[in-house]
Every structure is written in structure tokens, then in C-alpha cells.
Amino acid sequence: MSLSIESFSNIKNPKFADDSGYQIDITVDIESIGTNIPFTASFGDSESYGHQLYEAALNGEYGEVAPYIVGADTVEQVEYNARSVRNSFIANTDAMTIPDYTINDEYLTDEQRQELLDTRLAFKKWPETENWPNVPLPEVPDWIINELVKKGLSVPQWTYNG
């Protein structure tokens, strides 16, 4: 059975699944499967319906998204969430590493390319930081943030207990 966005109905109870903002828990009915099924829709979902449900929930189509309440997470959950933020940033900047990537029809300067590579490396090494994940994210240069926003991609955010 192949699922599509049309397979989902009676979508309700949106709540952020973690503090990254990249996942939203919802309750759904899925045609030919069942009713009141817990489902996590995510920004980076490999299935188009997962991303569509995430965007619709984020836009309030199923009601206001309830905030994620910090406190009940296990260490493993916090680390998983931190890695999700890191991995999302790396994935969202992958295309920027190709040699002919342009911004406003201009190739990246050597300085920008090095700054991009250094920032990506800092994100890759972030889990090795002392007291991780209770430490801030590496700094992201404004031009990279602007490019992510312009492309409609998420800007990394991390709430930590530091």
C-alpha cells in the first residue's frame, strides 16, 4: 500500500516533538490503516506526505502547535535531538559546497568557501565538545543564515541547559 497526503484525515493535536522545531507529533486517521494513530511529521521527512503534514501543521492548519516541554527527556533523547539539529544544518548546506554554487549569480569567494567549510566542520565536531549537548551551537556566519532563509531552509537553533 502506498501512502499519499490524501491518505491522511482528521489530523489533530499538533505538538512539537522536540526543541529543534523540525518534528511535530500529530494524531491522524490513515485510510485503510486505522484511526487516532500517533504520527511524527518532520521537516526533513523522506516521504513527501511527511513534509507536507509538517508544513501544514507548522502553518496552523491543524490548530496551534503546542510547545515542546523540556524536562522529561532522557540523555539519549537530548543527544538525538542535538544530532538532528546538527545533521539538518549539514544537509541544508551540502549544496553550497559544490564548486559552482552561486549566490546572486556570483561564485562563492575563497573566503566564503573556507568559512562555509570551517562552519560545517565545527558542526561535525560539536558533539565532541565538553559538556555536549548542553553547549551552544557553533557560530553561523550571517551570509550562510541569509542563504538558508532565502532557500526556505531551516536555520539551526538549539536550546541547551548551560
Give this prediction's pTM.
Answer: 0.56
pLDDT digits (tens, 9 = 90+) for 16-62: 988 888 999 999 999 888 888 989 999 888 889 999 999 999 999 99
Task: Express as a percent the part of the chain with pLDDT over 90.
Answer: 63
Comparing CA positions, the residue from 162, 140, 151, 150 lying closest to residue 86 is: 140
Q: How many CA atoms lie within 13 A of 138 on its CB side?
A: 22
Strands (E) across 1-85 are located at 8-16, 23-30, 34-42
Q: pLDDT grade, residue 64 (50/70/90)?
A: very high
Predicted local confidence at residue 2, as pLDDT: 82
Share of the chain above pLDDT 70, in %: 96
The pLDDT value recorded for residue 70 is 67
Listed range (13-17, 89-93, 101-105, 153-157) with the worst mean pLDDT = 153-157
> Which three three-digit cell numbers place residue 106?
556570483
pLDDT digits (tens, 9 = 90+) for 130-146: 999 989 999 999 999 99
Across the chain, mean pLDDT equals 90
Q: For the chain, give every domain's residue range.
A: 10-58, 75-150
Alpha carbon separation from 120 to 7, 43, 56, 124 (Å, rounded) = 38, 20, 30, 6
| pLDDT of the residue at 109 | 97
First CA to last CA across the chain, in angstroms? 46
For residue 44, the model assigns a pLDDT of: 84
Return the residue matching grid coordinates 501512502.
3
Residue 93 reports pLDDT greater than 70: yes
